[in-house]
Amino acid sequence: MTKELKIGNVKIGGGNKIAIQSMTNTDTADADKTIEQIKLLEQAGCDIVRASVYDSSAAKAFKKIKENISIPLVADVHFDHRLAIEAVENGADKLRINPGNITDPNAIRLLVDCAKSHQVPIRIGVNGGSLSPKVRERYGENSPEALVASAMENVRILEKEGFYNMCISVKSSNVRKMISAYRLLHNICDYPLHLGVTEAGTADIGTVKNAIGMGVLLLDEIGDTIRVSLTGDPVQEIYAAQNILRSIGLFDEGVEIISCPTCARTKIPLEQIVVEVKEATKDVKKPIKVAVMGCVVNGPGEAKDADIGIAGGGGNGEKAVVFKSGELLATGELDKMKQLLIEQIKQM
């Protein structure tokens, strides 16, 4: 089991639940827009949010941002230790630094002293494009071994300064390398691990990459917090992360919809119904498994472990049945049955 790490009001590691993270893509210096986006992330279920600190105006904006959100705020800083210190002094709950970007021993010492005095943890964030010069010279490529060596090189630097309040990530855009790197790291240290596939792409391929990479590791009980990196609206990262965790039994909140792949027996507009039910129940927090099935053959039988469901009930797509706990609840016109299903879910 990894060490427990406290990030604002959220704990990771030490057997705590897997925390879901995301990162803003607004201009951090525009505090109002950044707050607006973070609130949307909070509403979707984000546990920890990160924002880039690229200059002093972004660091100063942290004060207002922090005062107007409820989840921990992480400062993502590259190259300049002074920006990291300024972000912490303005309320950052955690720092993310990249190995090789801040190398001056005095700068590191000042950064550590600040983090210690404010009790702010640091994430050592390694990825294939940010290996330290020494490691790159030694390994010549961003292999799993190089990723881990770079991470541990920086861990030792912080430990030498008496700092142990940290977590680690070794991300790669290559899923195989990412999995291998985290497995190696898991075997040699007990710091909490932040999982992620970096530069994963848009939602279609990016979700697949993250699901494979994170899923394999989480099933082996490796990983304490995750960020699904996707190009676009960061809110989609939260839903993708929830779906990944839900699929392996690590997230038990909200409606889970199971639906059949359809065949010639399907007469109802199944895909449309799935979308409508998903949208209508998106605010339901109780864990409920809902089945949306094409016909009675795949209704209560194949979906018997669902809490409630709907299935095509004959005719030319105008009839449906609603079943609950494996038993027939009602039969009738499709639109009426669909509405009944949604009402029952909300009542549950």
Question: Greater confidence, 134 or 106?
Answer: 106
Listed residue (117, 236, 147) closest to 227, CA to CA: 236
Which of the four pLDDT bands, split at 50, 70 and 90, describes residue 300? low
Q: What is the dihedral of CA 252, 170, 108, 140, to 10 degrees?
A: 180
E strand segments, 211-307: 225-227, 255-259, 288-293
Tokens 């292999």 belong to residue: 143
Domain edges within the chain: 5-247, 255-347
For residue 158, the model assigns a pLDDT of 92
Element (H, E) at 86: helix 81-89
Question: Greater confidence, 7 or 269?
Answer: 7
Contacts of 91-95 spanning 24+ positions with Cβ under 8 A: 91/62, 91/63, 91/65, 91/66, 91/67, 92/53, 92/62, 92/66, 92/120, 93/7, 93/8, 93/66, 93/120, 94/7, 94/8, 94/48, 94/120, 94/121, 94/122, 94/123, 95/120, 95/121, 95/122, 95/123
Alpha-carbon span 159 to 148, nearest angstrom: 16
pLDDT at 304 over 80: no
Which of the four pLDDT bands, split at 50, 70 and 90, describes residue 100? low
pTM: 0.91
Under the phi-then-psi rule, with left for phi > 0, alpha for psi from -120 to 50, and beta for the rest, what region is 140?
left
Q: What is the architecture, at CATH level 2, of domain 5-247?
A: Alpha-Beta Barrel (3.20)
For residue 262, the model assigns a pLDDT of 85
Question: Is there a contact between 235 and 40 (Cβ–Cβ < 8 Å)?
Answer: yes
Alpha-carbon span 180 to 21, nearest angstrom: 22
For residue 97, the model assigns a pLDDT of 87
For residue 93, the model assigns a pLDDT of 98
pLDDT digits (tens, 9 = 90+) for 20-62: 999 999 999 999 999 999 999 999 999 999 999 999 999 999 9
For residue 260, the model assigns a pLDDT of 87
Fold equal for 5-247 and 255-347: no
pLDDT at 303 over 80: no
What residues have CB less than 8 Å from 272, skipping those under 6 apart?
A: none
- What is the number of helices (H) and of strands (E) in the chain? 11, 15
Alpha-carbon span 313 to 316, nearest angstrom: 9
Structure letter (DSSP) for residue 13? S
Q: Are β-strands 94-97 and 19-23 bridged in parallel, bridged antiparallel, or unpaired?
A: unpaired
Q: CA angle 149-155-160, nearest 5°?
A: 125
Question: Is there a contact between 95 and 69 (Cβ–Cβ < 8 Å)?
Answer: no
Alpha-carbon span 94 to 169, nearest angstrom: 14
For residue 222, the model assigns a pLDDT of 98
Average per-residue pLDDT for the chain = 92
Helix, strand, or coil (residue 31): helix
* Cα–Cα separations (whole angstroms), residue 226 to 31, 49, 105, 238: 25, 11, 30, 10
Q: How many CA atoms lie within 13 A of 256 on its CB side?
A: 20
For residue 84, the model assigns a pLDDT of 96
For residue 134, the model assigns a pLDDT of 79
* Percent of the chain surpassing pLDDT 90: 74
What CATH code is assigned to 255-347? 3.30.413.10
For residue 99, the model assigns a pLDDT of 57
Low-confidence winner among 50-59, 128-137, 172-181 (lowest mean pLDDT): 128-137
